[in-house]
């Protein structure tokens, strides 16, 4: 049985979270919601998402992880990165993604690109990293 990319991402997230808890180091995760791509590409969403993942992969560190998730979401995991660092990266990547998608559809992408960000340890996040992992694993069982 082959592991799906999202399941592999959940496994890496679980291991990195355990490592962060044990050694008291930072870890952050960003999930971009690119469902707008489905609406504006007229059926080319999968190709656009794959291109976005490749663009992101070229613009992050080797130790970071990126994966195309279900429902036009792209997940990124940043080991040893506090929330402030993830916020900086998210702004840079949002502009790269916006430019890439605008070039694909040959139109200025004026919409916001929604994202979720969780970090460990972080009291400012809407939900904890472990609860996000639980949700991710639960969604794979359904």
pLDDT tens, position by position, 47-63: 889 999 999 999 999 99
pTM above 0.75, yes or no: yes
- pLDDT tier for residue 86 given thresholds of 50, 70 and 90: very high
pLDDT at position 107 is 81
pLDDT at position 106 is 84
- State the CB neighbour count (10 A cutoff) for residue 36: 16
Query: Is residue 138 within 8 Å of residue 10, measured between CB atoms?
Result: no
Chain mean pLDDT for the chain: 86
pLDDT at position 7 is 84
The tokens of 102 are what? 């605008």
Q: What residue ranges do the domains of the chain occupy?
A: 5-141
CA distance 27 to 58: 20
Give the dihedral of Cα atoms 46, 32, 42, 98; nearest 10 deg: -110
Strand partners for 120? 27
- pLDDT tier for residue 6 given thresholds of 50, 70 and 90: confident
pLDDT at position 121 is 87
Average pLDDT for 81-104: 94
CA distance 124 to 132: 14
- The CATH number, out of the four listed (3.20.20.80, 3.30.70.270, 3.40.50.2300, 3.30.300.30), of the domain defined by the range 5-141: 3.30.70.270
CA distance 29 to 42: 29
């Amino acid at each position: 049985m082959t592991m799906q990319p999202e399941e592999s991402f959940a496994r890496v997230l679980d291991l990195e979270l355990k490592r962060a808890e044990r050694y008291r180091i930072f870890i952050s995760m960003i999930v971009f919601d690119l469902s707008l791509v489905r609406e504006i590409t007229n059926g080319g969403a999968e190709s656009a998402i794959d291109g976005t993942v490749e663009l992101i992969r070229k613009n992050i560190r080797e130790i970071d992880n990126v994966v195309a998730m279900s429902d036009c979401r792209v997940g990124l995991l940043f080991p040893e990165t506090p929330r402030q660092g993830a916020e900086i990266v998210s702004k840079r990547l949002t502009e790269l993604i916006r430019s890439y998608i605008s070039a694909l559809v040959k139109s200025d992408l004026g919409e916001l690109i929604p994202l979720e960000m969780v970090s460990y340890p972080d009291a400012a996040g809407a939900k904890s990293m472990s609860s996000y992992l639980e949700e991710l694993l639960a969604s794979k069982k359904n």
